[in-house]
A = this chain, B = another copy of it.
Amino acid sequence: MSSQPSHPTLLIPGPIEFDDAVLQSMSHFSESHVGPGFVATFGETLSMLRKLFQTTSSSSQPFVISGSGTLGWDLVGANLVEAGENALVLSTGYFGDNFGDCLKVYGANVDILKSTVGSRPQLPEIEQALKSKKYKIITVTHVDTSTGVLSELKSLSETVQRVSPDTLLIVDGVCSVAGEEIDFDAWKLDGVITASQKAIGCPAGLSISMFSGRAMEALEARKSPPASYFASMKNWRPIMQNYEAKKSSYFATPSPQLVHALHTALSQILTKPLSERFAKHAEVSDKIKKAVTDLGLKQVASDPADQAHLMTAIYLPESVKGTDLLPKLANSGVIFAGGIHKEIATKYIRFGHMGVSVTDPARTDISKAIDALKGGLSACGYQTS
């Protein structure tokens, strides 16, 4: 039984429901950010991130910085691409488009490759784009939270390696890390940025990322200094290295309570093989997708191969408005999210299924949510069977 007060179950694509121990870590008594106790906690947290991202290369560099997931885009834009350099952005929704906007702020020449809502750019067109000019970086949104479209990383990486091996491959894993498989070394990724509040299961407030040795070399080889102060990897990298070596160090004050919560969340995740965690998320997702299909509903991500395992973006029946359905779900104790992709915002809803709601056998969040969805649609006058 959770020790948390009774509350509606939060099943949006992040923030998600929290384990009690993670939430209790948020109330950790005050510690110095440069004292040995917290330095050890932060150092262990960074080392655990290497395991989460499946990287054993000593040149890989984890970062944990106070901020939203969005700050990860600035880390990429201000450090790994310089004004006038080319960036190829693969977009599968709102978040891909905005990643591109962020890169433009830092002066990158951004080409956005996108397809119709619910699908994703295909390898032949990506290959063609990569051959058309020299790109410093290519970015891909692993799961675009606005559409639930899952991008394929392994074959994308093989294409980049073959066609444009100097291009850095950067993954927005905000809505995928700790739920979808990511094999940082084997897939030769150069950067994965994420946030604390999605499948990692920690409260929001931390930008979490992993960059390759190659990305760190690109940082050092910059002709101009990083284009941000707070988001400068040159400012943060020695701090992260010191914390991981259990040495105190200061650039800007981290959040000890959030780092404690992240430490607890990662410790829990790493008690089991990651493969088991990914499989569990896939199994529960399949069950949800089947229920959605059985209800006669379509997903925004049209091809089953492109459907994320951590969330489901569901088109509403024509007769049902999200503004009618979502409050009914809330009355049943389940919070879903509305649409966010501007082309279809009012036509769909989003159901997040990650973290303890999926992995904790004591919780019945998912079946409760499916029942609530059925009941809510019915109450909106939609015949569900």
Tell me how far the C-beta of A45 lies from the nearest C-beta in chain B, rounded to whole angstroms: 15
Task: Give Cα A298–Cα B284 distance, bound, in whole angstroms.
Answer: 65
Are A71 and B32 interface neighbours, CB within 8 A? no
A322 within 8 A of B: no
Residues of A participating in the B interface, judged by any CB pair closer than 8 Å: 4-5, 7, 10, 12, 14-18, 23-24, 26-35, 65-71, 73-74, 77-78, 101-102, 105-106, 195, 197, 203-205, 225-232, 250-258, 335, 337, 340
Are B35 and A29 in contact, with the CB atoms below 8 A?
no
> Across the interface, do B32 and A15 meet the contact criterion of CB distance under 8 Å?
yes
The residues of B that contact A10 with a CB separation of less than 8 Å are: 30-32
Given the known interface contacts A105-B227, A231-B228, the answer about A253 and B32 at a Cβ–Cβ threshold of 8 Å is: no
A337–B205 CA distance with the chains assembled, in angstroms = 26
21 A-B pairs (CB sep. < 8 Å): A7-B30, A10-B30, A14-B253, A15-B30, A26-B27, A32-B337, A66-B71, A66-B205, A68-B252, A68-B253, A71-B230, A71-B252, A101-B229, A105-B227, A105-B232, A203-B255, A203-B257, A204-B254, A204-B255, A204-B256, A205-B205
Q: Are B23 and A18 in contact (CB under 8 A)?
A: no
Shortest Cβ gap from A77 to chain B (Å): 7
List, in ascending order, chain B residues with CB within 8 A of A24's CB: 27
* Least distance between A83 CB and chain B CB atoms (Å): 11
Q: Are B12 and A32 in contact (CB under 8 A)?
A: yes
Cβ contacts under 8 Å, A105 to chain B: 225-229, 232
Q: Measured between alpha carbons, how far is A33 from B197 in the docked complex, in Å?
A: 11
Kindly state the separation between the CA atoms of A13 and B225 in the bound complex, as whole angstroms. 31
Complex copy number for this chain: 2
Q: How far is the CB of A194 from chain B (nearest CB, A)?
A: 12
Cβ of A372 to closest chain B Cβ, rounded Å: 15
List the 10 shortest-distance A-B pairs measured between CB atoms, nearest first: A205-B255, A70-B252, A68-B252, A102-B229, A26-B26, A203-B257, A204-B255, A23-B27, A74-B230, A10-B30
Contact (Cβ within 8 A) A197 B227:
no
How many angstroms from the CA of A10 to the CA of B257 in the assembled complex?
Answer: 14
| Closest-CB distance, A354 to chain B (whole angstroms) | 12
Chain B residues with CB under 8 A of A230: 67-68, 70-71, 73-74, 102, 231
Interface centre among A12, A78, A225, A253 (most CB of B within 10 A): A253
Residues in B with CB closer than 8 Å to A7 are 29-31
From the candidates B15, B195, B228, B254, name the one contacting A228 in the complex (CB within 8 A): B228
Interface centre among A4, A106, A229 (most CB of B within 10 A): A229
Minimum CB–CB distance from A37 to chain B (whole Å) comes to 9
**Interface pair B205/A258, CB less than 8 Å apart:** yes
**A69 near B204: Cβ-Cβ < 8 Å:** no
Give, as a whole number of angstroms, the nearest-CB distance from A169 to chain B: 21
Since A10-B31, A68-B230, A70-B252 are in contact, a sample of 17 more A-B pairs with Cβ atoms closer than 8 Å, ordered by chain A residue number, is A15-B253, A17-B30, A23-B29, A32-B337, A34-B337, A65-B68, A66-B66, A67-B67, A67-B230, A68-B254, A70-B253, A74-B229, A74-B230, A101-B229, A203-B256, A204-B257, A228-B231
Residues B32 and A335 in contact, CB atoms below 8 Å apart: yes
User: How far, in whole Å, are A154 and B4 apart by their CA atoms in the complex?
Assistant: 47
